[in-house]
Chain A
Amino acid sequence: MITTGSKFFYGVAALLAFAAVVYGYASGGGGVGPISFGYKGGVGEHLGYGILLAGAVSALFAGFCVTAFRDADPEPTAALLGADTVPAATTTGSSFWPVVGAFGVVLTVVGVVLNNVFFVAGLIALGAVAIEWTMQAWADRATGDPAVNREIRNRIMFPIEVPLAGILAIAIVIVGYSRVFLAVSKLGAVWIALAIAATIFVIGTILSLRPRIRTDLVAGVLAAAAVVTIGLGIFGAVAGEREFHDLSEEHAEEGGAEAGASDESTDEGASEESN
């Protein structure tokens, strides 16, 4: 039986095949060339004929596939599985990888136009998303128990994620705050460093004094800290480094001056001697 869905593709295939034959004859095809696919006689303009015919073959193939799978109707699927009914699709749990992936796409887009650093960061984000998303999709279906699935996923991924997350956090702190320290004055850098240290100390003290801490709160504080660090780092990078006195040149000048003075004294000595 020809299914409803496949009729569309068969119709498109017939239409395109007919169009190819008409186009073949209209564009200079001769004999039975357009009908015999060029076996006897020319097919006219090759590119258009080829595209139309390729479209017809593709539609025919799609039609066969849709017929073979019976429009993806549940009844034949259930019969194939030997079940009375097909199990209902289950809802999907929470995942942050879609939003991270979208961020990676946009970062890549912005980077490819404006800045190579963003481009590379976007590609890294997309790579990480590809791995994590695949892993989560597998783990979600590993067993029927969501808690066990999460445990399975964590046992495999934590040994990879935790060190990488640590490295990333350290890199963000080093790069972010170094941009700030380089952008402000010497004294300003000291004050900012003191302020950061004091903030960490105060927040750490407050958290340690609480008998119970919600995980969400700690995650929120860390996320806010990461956003502030990255934001300050970007501002620092945009502002650029402050003007530094080149110490080597100063030393060279000082050294040169001292050397000049000693030369003069030597000359004087020599002249005195000569006198």
Chain B
Amino acid sequence: MTVTETQAPPAATTPAPALEPPRPSTGLAAVLGTGEHRTIGRLWIFTSFAYLLVAGVAGALVGVEKVDTDGLGDVLGADVFGETLSLHGIAGTFLFLLPLFIGLGIHVVPAQVGAATVAFPRATAAAYWTYLLGGAVLIASFVADGGPFGADSRFVELFVASFIAVLLALVLGTICVATTAVALRTTGMGLHRTPLFAWSSLVTAALVVLQLPVLAGLMLLVYVDHRYGPTFLGGSGGVLDRIAWAWSQPSVYLFAIPVLGIIGDIVPVSARTRLSKHRIAQGAIGAFGALAFGAWAMPGFGADGAAPLLHVGDVPFYAFSILILLPALAFAGLLGDTVRRGSLRVTSPLLWGVASLLMLLTGILNGILVAIEPLDLIQTTAQTAQIHYVLVASLLGLFAGLAHWAPRLLGTPVQEVASKALAALGLVGTILLCLPDVITGFLEQAWRLQGVSGDDVDAVEVLNVVSIVGGLLLVLVAVAFVGLVLKAAVGRDHDGDDPWEGNTLEWAPAGATPAITSEAPVYDARHGAGPSTTEAK
């Protein structure tokens, strides 16, 4: 048999088809799947605006109750008042102020330290979506008669659980910002040369990481107590006491730390010079942060769900309350010296920043008064005023940051004239909101609907009306400024020009990153690389 071997002709070697590169997503898919830090930063910022609206409306409702001190609780009812007050506090701090700072940090800090992106961008995105959805569930639980003072126990528990999720999201978000400042700095930028906002973000993140897990752990305890009682934490009515320490003295100053960094970046730019003694400014912010640590000042566990304030009157409480004035004053002094050396140009970010710093200093002074036990101002409206001074100062400072970085955030600046007017109105509104409360505190008006124990009811009611007017003015100012930001955001979606002639790296022209030999590299490049502040000192 003959076997014929057949051999297949050699196959022509055709090159493997090139793999198609991944197509970038568009539309909603692009937003849902984004890992781009500027987009994520804007998402944090705009979402925080929505929650600001919730906090403002809740605050207005709380204010209405104070008009008639005889009929406290008549408008909303005692429980609904408690729920609304809780919503005002939680939405204002944990759904607005901290997220707004995180949004600014995610957008600005990478550019300030010369990084291409934020550290862990997907974790940043996960933190944002958890904050968004968790915040929505939290507010829904209030609507369904849950939250502190809520009557429906299931939704009280849902509030606690969703609040824990929000807290964890905030911790994750700040870790991403802090890691960017620590680990992604460009060549030449030591920690001592980081811009003050990036530095203050690092200090804030350290405080958040130390403090918010404590609050989350406490909320876990509240959840277990409420769900699997018998309760020893006072049921739903006791929940607010377990949260309120986070925005009371000294923890309340946590929200103001990034504001120092923002103002510290704005003032030298407005003064067209570099900051005096950058390292001392960093030290002042660090000391302010250390003295803002307040997880130790939470209420104790008393009988029948009572929350005794064991720290009041103790030496640490006095020390923290008084000493925090020193770094704040030192910082203000450095800024004053910078202005003195420079050539001041009044911009809207500067006005917002000055208003913020003034209110912060006033709040610290108010806090010292509250801490002095013989004055008996704890749990009076004077303490409410102190909390408002510091938190509204934080709001004004963050608005200063938005106005300052708007060309980078939104592609175009916000309207200067309108922004300046709003900054002035914001200052007036804050004083009108807080100063009457300080006075009524001395007239022994207790906070949270507990009535007036003195003989000056008429005077207290008049002052309460003035305070409400101030609060409403602030709400209007905030809404109008958000409107300005949204107006600026429409139409432009790229980094705009530098209208301020900024000093730090985020203002460097694209593709022309200067050598970093000081904390103000763009200023150096513009004016010729003179001696750095560090060396000049």
Contacts and interface: CB of A to CB of B under 8 A. Distances in A.
> Across chains A and B, which 6 residue pairs bring their CB atoms closest together, nearest first?
A102-B129, A92-B35, A98-B126, A147-B19, A98-B125, A94-B33
Interface in A78-111: 78, 85-86, 88-99, 101-103, 105-106, 109-110
A72 B182 contact: yes
A31 interface: no
Contacts of A75: 187-188
Contacts of A88: 116
A74 B116 CA distance: 14
Interface stretch (B20-28, B368-376, B447-455): B20-28
Contact of B116 (A4, A85, A91): A91
B133 A103 contact: yes
Interface in B111-144: 115-117, 121-123, 125-126, 128-130, 132-134, 137
A106 B137 contact: yes
Nearest to B184: A89
Contacts of B358: none
Is the contact region of chain B dominated by helix, strand, or loop, or is it mixed? Answer: helix
Given A102-B132, A133-B122, A4 B161 contact: no
A90 to B, nearest CB: 7
A11 B187 CA distance: 27
Given A91-B35, A113-B161, 18 more contacts: A4-B191, A71-B191, A86-B187, A89-B117, A92-B117, A94-B22, A96-B32, A97-B126, A98-B129, A101-B130, A102-B129, A105-B134, A106-B134, A109-B158, A110-B162, A113-B158, A147-B18, A150-B19
Nearest to A91: B117
A95 B122 contact: yes
B123 A113 contact: no
A102 B21 contact: no
Nearest to B21: A147
Q: Most A CB atoms within 10 A — which of B36, B154, B182, B187?
A: B187
Interface string B168-207: 0100000000000011111111111000000000000000
Contacts of A91: 35-36, 116-117, 121
A112 interface: yes
Contacts of A72: 182-183, 185
B116 A89 contact: yes
Contacts of B188: 75
A74 B190 CA distance: 9
A74 B185 contact: yes
Interface of A: 3-5, 8, 12, 71-75, 78, 85-86, 88-99, 101-103, 105-106, 109-110, 112-114, 133, 137, 145-148, 150-151, 216
A204 B25 CA distance: 25
B165 interface: yes
B125 A99 contact: yes
Contact of A110 (B19, B122, B158, B185): B158
Contact of A4 (B35, B157, B192): B192
26 contacts: A71-B182, A72-B185, A74-B189, A78-B187, A89-B115, A91-B116, A92-B117, A94-B24, A94-B25, A94-B34, A95-B33, A99-B32, A99-B126, A102-B132, A103-B129, A105-B134, A106-B134, A109-B162, A109-B165, A110-B162, A113-B157, A146-B22, A147-B18, A147-B20, A147-B21, A150-B22
B30 interface: yes
Contacts of A3: 191
B22 A93 contact: yes
A61 to B, nearest CB: 15
